[in-house]
């Protein structure tokens, strides 16, 4: 497609939590000169979608083009997308959705059908950045390297001996975790900066590394504190509480310290529960708390009010008891 056909005023909503989303937005910004303040980030939660929609709708009257990249759709968010799209279309807006995740039938029928272009549904070979690069006709050394990185992390096909790739992955991962817990406006400006760095053809910059290092220090300190206050529900579970930390790091540390097979960490700031195991299938336990996931990596939501935000030892023990009985059942 000719550059002009994408429209004059372009906005992007992209997936916030990994390089595929950031890379996709950067490619669109590079090719179509999208101002950084026109880029917004989604994480499958309603508040982020609402924030982005509200900001973008301020410009609806100008007849804008909206790109949505690297994000699928929850059936429960269909109404919100439809509302946004109807308003954009009413003013002659265009919508392009580029994704590679699984889409439910109803989402395809109701939402993809409203888009001018929708390349959506599961794609096992290409990540969103690769599809975006193909559509926009990129073929240069920097973009090819970027795509190698987004593909590697998105499809979990990393060569563990590749030290450079591992270092890049750690830097990215630390910042996405760090920023993911910031208030929406700060989160948006931090992520926009990353899009800016990538679109200036750098894989990262010194500020990016600084933030990653800062998060690593916070992460380590909090894990250390968590390890001093562990709970042992059931036969095989170790449980700890912390303000957000990196789940894989904290789980490994808890298992290593105690020799138990199932590590559960509760984020006391938002009540999310994160469970990891080496051997056990944790899905039945997660389901008892209304959660789910993969056998060795599950999540669930705890009602913080019910436990007074886990401020006291008694409240932590109360939850430990329930977790123990869930394991036993």
Footprint of Mn ion (CB under 5 A): 20, 70, 127-128, 154
Q: Would you say 128 or 171 has its CB closer to Mn ion?
A: 128
Q: Which of 293, 302, 317, 315 is nearest to 267 (CA)?
A: 302
Minimum Å distance from CB 127 to Mn ion? 5
What is the rounded distance in angstroms from the CA atom of residue 84 to the CA atom of residue 88? 6
Return the number of the residue (80 or 123) whose C-beta is nearest Mn ion: 123
Residue 108 CB, nearest distance to Mn ion (Å)? 18
Q: Taking the complex as a whole, how short is the minimal distance between the CB of residue 82 and Mn ion, in angstroms?
A: 23
Q: In 10 A of CB 91, how many CB atoms?
A: 13
Query: Comparing C-alpha atoms, which of 113, 7, 123 is closest to residue 67?
Result: 7
Shortest-Cβ-distance residue relative to Mn ion: 20
Considering the complex, what minimum distance in angstroms separates the CB of residue 161 from Mn ion? 24
* Residue 188: burial class (beta carbons within 10 Å; 0-12, 13-18, 19+): buried
Contact predicate 25/14, CB 8 Å: yes
- Min dist. Cβ of residue 129 to Mn ion (A): 8
Continuous H helices in the chain: 19-32, 46-57, 78-90, 105-110, 128-136, 141-154, 163-180, 184-199, 206-227, 247-258, 283-288, 313-328
Nearer to Mn ion, 20 or 211 (CB): 20
Nearer Cβ to Mn ion, position 20 or 173? 20
Spatial contact of 278 and 296, defined as CB atoms under 8 Å apart: yes
Rounded CA gap, 111 and 309, in Å?
38
Report the interhelical angle of 206-227 vs 163-180 (nearest 10°). Answer: 70
Q: How far is the CB of 241 from Mn ion (least distance, A)?
A: 31
What is the closest distance, in whole angstroms, from the C-beta atom of residue 22 to Mn ion in the complex?
A: 10
Q: Which is nearer to Mn ion, 198 or 254 (CB)?
A: 198
d(CA 170, CA 125): 24
63 versus 180: smaller Cβ distance to Mn ion: 180
Residue among 26 and 320 whose Cβ is closer to Mn ion: 26
Of 129 and 302, which has the nearer Cβ to Mn ion?
129
CA distances from 222 to 137, 218, 268, 273 (A): 45, 6, 12, 16
The minimum distance between CB 70 and Mn ion, in angstroms, equals 4
Q: Residue 150 or residue 251: which is nearer to Mn ion going by CB?
A: 150
CA dihedral 9, 20, 49, 197 (to 10 degrees): -60
Sequence-ordered list of residues with C-beta below 8 angstroms from that of 313, at least 6 positions apart, any chain:
none
Q: How far is the CB of 186 from Mn ion (least distance, A)?
A: 24
């Amino acid at each position: 497609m000719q550059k002009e056909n994408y429209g004059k005023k372009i906005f992007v909503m992209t997936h916030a939590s990994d390089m595929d989303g950031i890379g996709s937005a950067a490619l669109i910004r590079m090719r179509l000169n999208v101002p950084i303040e026109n880029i917004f980030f989604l994480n499958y939660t309603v508040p982020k979608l609402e924030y982005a929609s509200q900001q973008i709708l301020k410009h609806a009257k100008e007849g804008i083009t909206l790109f949505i990249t690297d994000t699928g759709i929850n059936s429960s968010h269909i109404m919100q997308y439809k509302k946004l799209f109807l308003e954009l279309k009413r003013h002659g807006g265009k919508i392009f959705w580029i994704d590679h995740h699984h889409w439910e039938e109803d989402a395809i029928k109701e939402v993809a059908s409203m888009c001018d272009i929708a390349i959506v549904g599961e794609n096992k070979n290409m990540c969103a950045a690769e599809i975006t690069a193909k559509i926009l006709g990129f073929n240069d050394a920097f973009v090819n390297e970027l795509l190698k990185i987004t593909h590697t992390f998105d499809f979990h096909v990393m060569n563990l001996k590749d030290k450079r790739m591992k270092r890049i992955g750690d830097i990215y991962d630390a910042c996405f975790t760090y920023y993911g817990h910031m208030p929406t406006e700060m989160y948006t400006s931090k992520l926009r900066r990353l899009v800016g760095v990538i679109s200036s053809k750098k894989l990262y910059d010194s500020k990016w590394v600084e933030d990653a290092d800062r998060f690593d220090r916070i992460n380590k300190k909090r894990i250390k504190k968590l390890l001093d206050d562990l709970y042992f529900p059931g036969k095989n579970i170790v449980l700890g509480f912390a303000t957000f930390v990196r789940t894989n790091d904290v789980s490994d540390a808890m298992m290593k310290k105690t020799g138990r097979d199932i590590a559960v960490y509760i984020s006391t700031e938002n009540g999310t529960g994160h469970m990891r195991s080496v051997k056990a299938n944790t899905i039945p336990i997660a389901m008892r708390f209304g959660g789910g996931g993969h056998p060795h990596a599950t999540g669930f939501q705890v009602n913080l009010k019910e436990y007074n935000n886990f401020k006291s030892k008694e409240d932590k023990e109360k939850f430990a008891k329930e977790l123990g009985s869930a394991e036993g059942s």
